[in-house]
Amino acid sequence: MTVTGLREVKKRETRQLISDRATGLFLAKGFEHTTIAEIAEAARVAKKTVTNYFPRKEDLAFDHQEEFVESLARTVVARGPGESALGALRSGCLDAIARQDPVAGFAGPEFSRMIADSPTLSVCLRSLHDLREDNLAAALVAATGATAGDITPRAAAAVFGGVHRVVFARIQELTLAGRGGPEIAAVAGEEAEQAFALLEASFGDYARA
């Protein structure tokens, strides 16, 4: 392995270590009561190292936020021949639920409680949902060739994103109620099917590849 390759491995390891130590502290003390200095001490790095990898404290809690905000747009871009945006998003959502994917909301009771108990993280989560809708709208513009001023892709993204928000919130709700992963997946899968079915008449052929 080259020197550059070794440096990249070391960076990934350091980033993961900081993230793991931060998560442990957040769960033990609560997000609002944990400081960057405490995270740095736990990871045995300088405070500056923590902020170099994670500019905001919220970034430490939502370590996979890039994957989250790009997930719906990527699903639309990757849809198969003849598949509509609705069809792709429905299949992607149901698959994520079946896999109990953390990006779909399967974060576990401790992490879910941490978010629910933190005003900062609750606001941050809403902003991540907003960014995900913005990325989806951009993907729908590209998929349909819509003009910059066309409201249709933005409206469609808001509707599609709204279903994903509701499903995500439902998974969190069931998690905090003490339900197990398989039971949550069964309930959320059925309810997601119902929600997407409501959109079929209006969006069944929209952005068909």
Helix crossing, 85-98 with 65-77: angle to 10°? 140
Could you give the domains of the chain? Answer: 3-57 (1.10.10.60), 65-203 (1.10.357.10)
Q: pLDDT tens, 25-53?
A: 999 999 999 999 999 999 999 999 999 99
Average per-residue pLDDT for the chain: 95
Average pLDDT over residues 81-107: 97
pLDDT of residue 17: 95
How many other C-beta atoms are found inside a 10 Å radius of the C-beta of residue 47? 14
Single pTM value for the model: 0.91
The residue-averaged pLDDT of 11-29 equals 94
